[in-house]
Amino acid sequence: MANVTVIGSQWGDEGKGKIVDWLSSRADVVVRFQGGHNAGHTLVINDKVYKLHLLPSGIVRPGKLSIIGNGVVVDPWALLKEIDDVRAQGVEISPETLKIADNVNLIMPVHSAMDEALEAARGKGQLGTTKRGIGPTYEDKVARRGIRLCDLRDPVLLREKLEKLMVHHNALLKGLGASEICPQEIFDQLMQIADQVLVYADQVWRVLEQARRRGDKILFEGAQGIMLDVDHGTYPFVTSSNIVAAQASTGSGVGPKAIGTVLGITKAYTTRVGTGPFPTEQLNEDGERMGQRGHEFGTTTGRKRRCGWFDATLVRQAVTICGIDGIALTKLDVLDGFDELKICTGYLLDGKKLDYFPAGQNEQARIEPVYMTLPGWNESTRGARSFSDLPPAAVKYVHVIEELIGAPVFLLSTSPERDDTILLKDPFYG
């Protein structure tokens, strides 16, 4: 029996939250391993809607252990607010059910201020970040001046580290015409909440080792999607972390063999929030229709998501880079009622055919999609709970996708509701 690693195979918002919630009934432990509260994972259970940003999606199921691994960046104020919000929805959260790696890097108020200031300075070249301070925090981590959760236990060291951090950031803020921030102010704010956050701190790598020895099933929950990966995505229009499945290992402190079956969460069409290349984008009625039927508005920022046809070339690349064993195909129901559906099978660059998504920024902006066209269906697939309930044209669409991306469909999702999910192959027994 394998563990399972869930990752987004497009530009995020593929429905990872829904699928992780569904799979978590079979898991004992759910682990976030990268990203931060830039993520927005939606769970719909009966009439209740949960919007999770930092907390693993297993948190809503009693008896499961939720873990935030060292690869995540944690805004402690956002974390405490989210814990309060989710508790107010009736979910129990305690140091027994939530553990945060004590070596995790923290997002400070200066990081969100810097995210804003840097975006403003980019002018027309804005990346469209979530302004949550994600990029500046990862920068500080790699530059070896980050503030970590364990530092909250050591006020003398923390005060020293903040002083050094702010020498760096205040010089930049000043240069960008933004207000400087006093290190003592951040120190005081941190001291007010230190105890509330430290109750969750633990050596997550050991907790996971103990879980493995017990034979627990571990579900690793990725955020964002492969095309936002800092190495493999549409650089520089990406987030600042690695999103690939291998990050589940470095971002939580387990060996690479522990990540188990890799499940790529894949929307039946394509969306993107923020700026950057998107070859199959449909700035027309088709894109509007997908956006309306799929309620494509960002869970974190409320921004309208850009919509377009399914890009099989891009997902095939994700399958290779992440070692995806199978996919969960989501939001098939959104495509009900289209006369025809298009799937991108490759690109043209200056008249030459490409069967891969190129790395160059200008090439990515210039490539033109090559499409195949398939018939649509008029029947409703919304809420279908058996593959045999799907109209033949929908079945064909699913099989064509499997063939083009080189990976089978393990799960199929037909509405936001937890139970409107068709299991074709159990990834835990993958």
> Which 16-55 residues touch ligand GDP, going by CB under 6 A?
16-18, 40-42, 44
Residue placing its CB nearer to ligand IMO in the complex, 113 or 273: 273
Which member of 3, 19, 40, 258 binds ligand IMO (CB under 6 A)? 40
Integer Cα distance of 49 and 89 in angstroms: 9
Which part of the chain contacts Mg ion (CB under 5 A), choosing from 33-41, 73-81, 248-256, 328-336?
A: 33-41
Decide: is 82 part of the binding site for ligand GDP (CB under 6 A): no
Residue placing its CB nearer to ligand GDP in the complex, 19 or 201: 19
Which member of 223, 344, 390, 398 binds ligand IMO (CB under 6 A)? 223
> Which 333-372 residues touch ligand GDP, going by CB under 6 A?
333-334
Helix (H, G, I), strand (E, B) or coil at 391: coil
Helix (H, G, I), strand (E, B) or coil at 304: strand
Catalytic residue from among 41, 53, 111, 169? 41
Torsion of CA 69, 71, 76, 81, to 10 degrees: -70
| Residue 244 Ramachandran class (φ > 0 left, ψ -120 to 50 alpha, else beta) | beta
246 interface partner picked from ligand IMO, Mg ion, ligand GDP, none, CB below 5 to 8 A per type: none
Q: What letter would DSSP give residue 107?
A: P
Helix (H, G, I), strand (E, B) or coil at 330: strand
How many DSSP H helices and E strands does the chain contain? 12, 20
Decide: is 75 part of the binding site for Mg ion (CB under 5 A): no
> Which 283-342 residues touch ligand GDP, going by CB under 6 A?
294-295, 299, 330-331, 333-334
Note if 41 is an active site residue: yes
Which member of 8, 36, 40, 183 binds Mg ion (CB under 5 A)? 40
Q: How far is CA 355 from CA 316, 336, 352, in A?
A: 10, 29, 10
Q: How far is CA 78 from CA 54, 73, 98, 197, in A?
A: 8, 11, 15, 11
Which member of 24, 224, 249, 421 binds ligand IMO (CB under 6 A)? 224
From residue 199 to residue 238, the character string flagging contacts with ligand GDP as x (rule: CB under 6 A) and all else as - is ----------------------------------------
> Which 232-251 residues touch ligand IMO, going by CB under 6 A?
239-240
Integer Cα distance of 94 and 83 in angstroms: 10
Q: How far is the CB of 418 from ligand GDP (least distance, A)?
A: 10
- Amino acid identity at 341: L
> Are the beta carbons of 279 and 356 closer than 8 angstroms?
no
Note if 295 is an active site residue: no
Decide: is 5 part of the binding site for ligand IMO (CB under 6 A): no
Which member of 247, 266, 313, 413 binds ligand GDP (CB under 6 A)? 413
Decide: is 39 part of the binding site for ligand IMO (CB under 6 A): yes
Which member of 14, 82, 229, 311 binds ligand GDP (CB under 6 A)? 14
> Which 251-280 residues touch ligand IMO, going by CB under 6 A?
273-274
> Which 12-31 residues touch ligand IMO, going by CB under 6 A?
12-13
Q: Which long-range contacts (CB under 8 A, 24 or more apart) does 178-185 make?
A: 178/113, 178/116, 178/117, 179/113, 181/109, 181/110, 181/113, 183/159
Q: How far is the CB of 163 from ligand GDP (least distance, A)?
A: 37
- Amino acid identity at 138: Y
> Are the beta carbons of 220 and 322 closer than 8 angstroms?
no
The size of the chain, in residues, is: 430
Q: How far is the CB of 345 from ligand GDP (least distance, A)?
A: 24
127 interface partner picked from ligand GDP, Mg ion, ligand IMO, none, CB below 5 to 8 A per type: ligand IMO
From residue 130 to residue 159, the character string flagging contacts with ligand IMO as x (rule: CB under 6 A) and all else as - is x-x-xx------------------------
Which part of the chain contacts ligand IMO (CB under 6 A), choosing from 5-13, 277-285, 324-332, 397-405?
A: 5-13
Decide: is 361 part of the binding site for Mg ion (CB under 5 A): no
| Closest of 382, 299, 367, 297 to residue 335, by C-alpha | 382
- Tell me the number of residues near ligand IMO by CB under 6 A: 24
| Closest of 226, 413, 421 to residue 334, by C-alpha | 413
Integer Cα distance of 32 and 342 in angstroms: 34
44 interface partner picked from Mg ion, ligand GDP, ligand IMO, none, CB below 5 to 8 A per type: ligand GDP
Sequence-ordered list of residues with C-beta below 8 angstroms from that of 195, at least 6 positions apart, any chain:
none
> Are the beta carbons of 259 and 34 closer than 8 angstroms?
no
Catalytic residues: 13, 41
For ligand IMO, the binding residues (CB under 6 A) are: 8, 11-13, 38-41, 127-130, 132, 134-135, 223-225, 228, 239-240, 273-274, 299
